[in-house]
Amino acid sequence: MTAIGMVVGLVALWAGGASALSLARVRDLTLTDRLVADFASGAVVLAFVGTMAIVLGLQLSLGAIYLGLFLLIGSAFKWGRSGGAVVARERDPFALGILALVGMLLTAVGVATTSDRLWWDGWAIWALKARVLFLEGTLSPVFLDPAGPYVFTHLDYPLLVPLVDWWGFRHLGEVLPQAASFLGFFWFLLIPVLLWGALRDRLGERIAALAALAAAACWPIAFYATGGTADVVIALALLGAIVELDRAFGQEDRSALWRAGMFLALGAAAKNEGLALAVIGSCIALVAPGGIARASRLPALLLPLVVAAPWLLFTRAIGLESDVLVALPSVAEGGTRAWILAGALLRQFTGTPWQPLPILALLGVVAALRQSDRSLSVGWTVLTAYAIVLCGVYASAPQDLPWLISTTLPRVFGALAPATLFLALASGLPERRGQAAPDRP
Amino acid sequence: MRLVERAMIALLGAWCVIGIAHTAQSLLGPAGWAAGRPGTDAGFVGMPLPGSTVVVAIGRLLEVTPDLEDPALVILPLEIGPSAVLYINYQLAHTRYPRRVDVVGASAPTPAVNPYSTIVVAEEVRLQAPWRMTATLAGFSVWERPSL
């Protein structure tokens, strides 16, 4: 019964997201891309609806959300458009073998979530807020009080992850730490699926399968994902936004631009870093040269800000502020912190399992500079600007830097890895478009 | 195939091999499958020992006094380090919610006890009247203050 409840909840979220994208007529055509974008979109819709309810002082109601969901699905059947049917293609047996390995690896990580494996922030922030939502139907006043006993839960953090965990708890009928772990794993599972879908047409099935395997075998991301933290959502949002921006600028595909906006909204609704990512991604996609007129890009690129605005305005209005951007350090202190951070990043990315990534990234950057591929340049610019902003936050935050590094660096910068992998491979390896049977009509 | 492309594919393959080995090693370790660690270590992931057993014991003691309205105070003994104190605080805040549980280490200044109806301390610590001890477990005792 427990497993069935969780499956029903996930399918409902997926169906809601699929309907929203279908109604907006921006649903992707390949099965794997749909699986990821639909679920991400469903989570964004849930986050927006749930956050609005909390901001307006309403109780979260599963029945009301399901009513809205059925209306959404019905409207999508009547007015929506999902594009053409998926066309079967010949499979590469070698790639299938690698994908089987990906499946085994993901199964092993998934099995691990059946035990109690929430990590610090999973207990203290994300799953705790989900528990409060489950028991109270909203965030009780102590969770909105900057002088209250629960300040350690980072009261200003956006609510997508707690709301998705709440959704899982409501479908199970109880608060289970394992369910929060499993939902973290589910976010992690979508990363190799998205990488496979993004690279298959471009580089062929073998490389795409190897990239999916590399992402699935990234234990640091899996560890914090199953620990219940929101960093895995940022990893997915960053990868999804960069993949869709590449399609939008490479193929002048407006629907891809909307999906990029949706992935940026996913980040903005999940974590404060995600809001920074959304602003960076939207600004760069707005000013980048490309075939889609700038004025017509604006609605898609404003989507993340529209999704993030209610919570952002509400929390600022009641005095909840981020604890990292409170004061700027002196130039000397900032320089010292930046030097320490550089050393920590060097140690992290020359340590297991990251060692090959910096060299891959370097080769990818060199290849991108030589090719001057416009669509990939947008992605590289977003990734670089986001990394610089993250470094700036570490250099300027008031917290003790060694503590900040030891508790956050692997997960915050680890979230850049899947997008870096995509960009490096797409930039450095020759395109094989047209060698496989296209599945886009 | 150009040298750079071969190098990239080799690096990708190397990442897969390193990643699989690292994931397998991690899954077999204490932060992996439950089968890889003792059953008493529930909630172990990221928990500085002996945190998990302390959380379980204090959680059970707090069930003896299930008064959800009044907050409970937990004073941990000196041998539990500051990092573990913080983690125990977080876990108890989660598992005991909606009851508020404040956790402090023995080296920290003890807060005023007025707001609390329940205090958990190390077993050897004795509180004065009107506090009365109601249960002990795993080196801890729970004290209640009778309602006025």
pLDDT tens digits along A116-162: 788 989 999 999 999 999 999 999 999 999 999 999 999 999 999 99
- Looking at beta carbons, which residues of chain B come within 8 Å of A356? 11-12, 14-15, 18
The CA distances from residue A432 to A121, A200, A435, A437, in Å, are 42, 9, 6, 11
In the DSSP assignment, the letter for residue B39 is G
Local confidence band at B49 (pLDDT 50, 70, 90 cut-offs): low
This prediction's pTM? 0.94
Token pair for residue A439? Answer: 């599945």
Say yes or no for a CB contact (<8 Å) between A430 and B42. Answer: no
β-strands B101-105, B132-137 pairing: unpaired
pLDDT given for residue A29 in this prediction? 72
pLDDT: which is higher, B112 or B10? B10
Question: Rounded to the nearest 5°, which phi and psi values hold at B105?
Answer: -85, 160
Residues of B in contact with A227 (CB under 8 A): 45-46
Q: What residues of B are in contact with residue A132 (Cβ under 8 Å)?
A: 97-98
Average pLDDT over residues A240-248: 96
Confidence category of residue A296, pLDDT binned at 50, 70, 90: very high
pLDDT surpasses 60 at B36? no
To the nearest whole Å, the CA of A135 is away from the closest chain B CA by 8
Q: Check if the beta carbon of residue B46 is closer than 8 Å to that of residue B87.
A: yes
Confidence class of residue A1 from pLDDT cuts 50, 70 and 90?
low
B19 closest CB neighbour out of A217, A359, A429: A217
Q: How many CB pairs under 8 A join A and B?
A: 135
Question: Crossing angle, helix A294-317 and helix A254-270, to 10 degrees?
Answer: 10
Number of helices followed by number of strands (H, E) in chain A: 19, 0
Contact residues on chain B for A136, CB-CB shorter than 8 A:
98
Q: What's the pLDDT score for residue A15?
A: 96
Residue A109: pLDDT band with limits 50, 70, 90: very high
Distance from CA of A104 to the nearest CA of B (A): 11
Tokens matching residue B93: 């805040």
Smallest Cα–Cα separation from A247: which of A69, A105, A379?
A379
Look-up of token digits 């998926």: A86
Position A169 pLDDT exceeds 50: yes
What is the rounded distance in angstroms from the CA atom of residue B131 to the CA atom of residue B148?
12
Q: Comparing C-alpha atoms, which of A235, A146, A245, A145 is closest to residue A188?
A: A235
Q: CB distance B8–A360 less than 8 Å?
A: yes
Mean per-residue pLDDT over chain A, rounded: 92
pLDDT tens-place string over residues B56-69: 889 999 988 777 77
CB A428 within 8 A of CB B8: yes
Q: What is the pLDDT of residue A291?
A: 80
Closest Cβ opposite residue A112 in set B9, B32, B100: B32
* Nearest-CA distance B26 → chain A (Å): 8
Residues B57 and B51: their CA atoms lie apart, in Å, by 10
A chain contacts of residue B27, beta-carbon cutoff 8 Å: 108-109, 112
The answer, for A251 touching chain B at a CB cutoff of 8 Å, is no
Higher pLDDT, B52 or A200: A200
- How far apart CA A420 and CA A166 sit, in angstroms, is 31
A111 → closest Cβ in B13, B33, B44 = B33
Substitution target in A98, A102, A104, A117 with the highest count of B β-carbons within 10 Å is: A117
- Partner-chain contact B19 A353, CB within 8 Å: yes
Nearest to B26 among A223, A360, A428 (CB): A223
Residues A324-380 pLDDT 10s: 877 788 889 999 999 999 999 999 999 999 999 999 999 999 999 988 788 899 999
Alpha carbon A335 to its chain's center: 31
Q: Distances from the Cα of B44 to the Cαs of A125, A165, A213, in angstroms?
A: 17, 21, 28
How far, in whole angstroms, is CA A88 from its chain's centroid? 29
Interatomic CA distance for residues A438 and A12, integer angstroms: 30
Predicted confidence band of residue A436 (pLDDT cuts 50, 70, 90): very low
Contact B11 A360 (CB under 8 A): yes
Chain A residues with CB-CB distance to B34 below 8 A: 112, 114-117
User: Is the Cβ–Cβ distance between B33 and A111 less than 8 Å?
Assistant: yes
On the question of pLDDT at A439 being above 50, the answer is no
> Between residues A285 and A32, which one has the greater pLDDT?
A285
Indicate the residue of B19, B46, B98 with minimum beta-carbon distance to A214: B19
Interchain pair B9, A429: CB under 8 A: yes
How far A291 CA lies from chain B's nearest CA (Å)? 30
Judge whether residue A441 has pLDDT over 50. Answer: no
Which of B4, B12, B96 to probe the A interface (max A CBs under 10 A)? B12
% pLDDT > 90, chain A: 81
Kindly report, residue by residue over B102-125, the tens digit of the pLDDT: 999 988 888 888 889 899 999 888
Residues making up chain B, counted from first to last: 148
pLDDT at A39: 97
Is A213 within 8 Å of B18 when comparing Cβ atoms? no
Alpha helices in A204-330 (DSSP H): 205-216, 219-226, 231-250, 254-270, 272-287, 294-317
The two three-digit tokens of residue B28, written as one number: 């077999």
Distance in Å, alpha carbon of A93 to nearest chain B alpha carbon: 17
Peptide bond into B130 cis (omega under 30): yes
In this complex, the residue of A131, A352, A363 whose CB is nearest that of residue B97 is A131
Q: What is the pLDDT at residue B106?
A: 86
Better-predicted residue by pLDDT, A87 or B5: B5
pLDDT of residue A85: 62
